[in-house]
Amino acid sequence: MLGRVNHIAIAVPDLALATAGYRDTLGAKVSQAQALPEHGVTVVFVELENTKVELLEPLGEASPIAAFLDKNPSGGMHHICYEVADILAARDQLSATGARVLGSGEPKIGAHGKPVLFLHPKDFFGTLIELEQV
């Protein structure tokens, strides 16, 4: 079911500072900031040869990243995104095994313009998992 790792997401309290750290200190290529109001985040992608790192900053009071940063004020790893060929088939297969899909269970459009779903971290050893259809 799982394809390659699409990205690893890191929640940060200051997106501009984190972006500058990856770009200026580590010499990485970074994207422009992109607001995703439907997900409650602003994102920047650090582009690497074999994957991406997604830097997430809260967007709005109801952002799920705000609660994460309340518990982890310096930031930290938020989720891992894996690619899947068919997100609905993956959802149905996972649900049949008892894995919990967060939200309504219907895919939303993610930062790459493709359907995404999130899986409950308690079902995957404390790790929030995002699935992205490719």
Known catalytic residues? 130
**Which residue do the tokens 């939200």 mark?**
103
Strands (E), 12-125: 29-30, 34-36, 41-47, 52-58, 76-84, 108-109, 115-119
- Can you tell me the distance from the alpha carbon of 95 to that of 75, in angstroms, rounded to the nearest whole number? 30
- Can you tell me the distance from the alpha carbon of 104 to that of 30, in angstroms, rounded to the nearest whole number? 32
**Cα radius of gyration (the chain):** 15
Nearest alpha carbon to residue 53 among 43, 42, 68, 64: 43
DSSP symbol at 130: E
